[in-house]
Amino acid sequence: MSAAAESLVLRDARVGDRVTDILITNGRIVKMADDIRSHSDDVSLDGRWVIPGLWDEHVHFSQWALKTRRLDVSTATSARHAAQLVHDALAAAGPLAVDDDGRPLTFVANGFRDGTWPDAPNLADLDAAGGGAPIVLISSDLHSVWLNTVALELFGHAGHPTGLIRETAAFAIENLVNAVPDSVLDPMVNEAATDAAARGIVGIVDFEMAWNRESWERRMTGGFDAVRVEFGIYSEHIDRAIAEGLHTGQRLSELLTVGRHKVITDGSLGTRTAFCFDEYPGMAGQPDSRGLLVVPPDELAAHLRRSSSAGISPAVHAIGDAANTHVLDTFEALGITRGRIEHAQLVTDADIARFAALGVEASVQPEHAMDDRDIADTFWPGRTAHAFVLRSFVDAGVRLVLGSDAPVAPLDPWFAIASAVGRTRDGREPWHVEQALSAAEALRASTRTDVAVGEIADLAVVELDPFTSPPEALRAPTVAGTLVGGRWTHRTL
Residues near Zn ion, by CB under 5 A:
405
> Least distance (Å) from Zn ion to the CB of residue 151?
23
Closer CB to Zn ion, residue 186 or residue 405? 405
Give the span between the Cα atoms of 61 and 247, in whole angstroms: 21
> Least distance (Å) from Zn ion to the CB of residue 232?
9
Closer CB to Zn ion, residue 101 or residue 236? 236
Q: CA-CA distances (angstroms) from residue 348 to 135, 320, 420?
A: 40, 10, 20
Give the span between the Cα atoms of 223 and 118, in whole angstroms: 48
Query: 484-487 long-range contacts, Cβ below 8 Å, gap at least 24?
Result: 484/53, 484/197, 484/202, 484/225, 484/226, 484/227, 484/228, 484/255, 484/458, 485/27, 485/254, 485/456, 485/457, 485/458, 486/6, 486/8, 486/24, 486/25, 486/26, 486/27, 486/28, 486/457, 487/27, 487/225
- Output the CA angle 299-303-306, nearest 5 degrees: 140
Strands 487-491 and 479-484: antiparallel
Closer CB to Zn ion, residue 226 or residue 406? 406
Give the span between the Cα atoms of 476 and 185, in whole angstroms: 27
> Least distance (Å) from Zn ion to the CB of residue 60?
6
Query: Closest residue to Zn ion, Cβ-based?
Result: 405
> Least distance (Å) from Zn ion to the CB of residue 54?
18
Give the span between the Cα atoms of 406 and 198, in whole angstroms: 16
Closer CB to Zn ion, residue 125 or residue 342? 342
Closer CB to Zn ion, residue 167 or residue 405? 405
Closer CB to Zn ion, residue 195 or residue 405? 405
Closer CB to Zn ion, residue 406 or residue 451? 406
Helices (H), 58-198: 61-67, 79-93, 123-129, 149-154, 167-177, 182-197
The length of the chain is 493
> Least distance (Å) from Zn ion to the CB of residue 405?
4
> Least distance (Å) from Zn ion to the CB of residue 34?
44
> Least distance (Å) from Zn ion to the CB of residue 376?
18
Closer CB to Zn ion, residue 140 or residue 257? 140
Q: Which helix (H) or strand (E) holds 471?
A: helix 471-474
> Least distance (Å) from Zn ion to the CB of residue 338?
20
Helix (H, G, I), strand (E, B) or coil at 258: strand
Closer CB to Zn ion, residue 61 or residue 414? 61
Strands 314-318 and 256-264: parallel
Closer CB to Zn ion, residue 107 or residue 112? 112
Give the span between the Cα atoms of 423 and 384, in whole angstroms: 13
Q: Are 270 and 375 in contact (CB under 8 A)?
A: yes
> Least distance (Å) from Zn ion to the CB of residue 207?
5
Give the span between the Cα atoms of 361 and 399, in whole angstroms: 5
> Least distance (Å) from Zn ion to the CB of residue 388?
15
Burial class (CB in 10 A: 0-12, 13-18, 19+), 241: buried
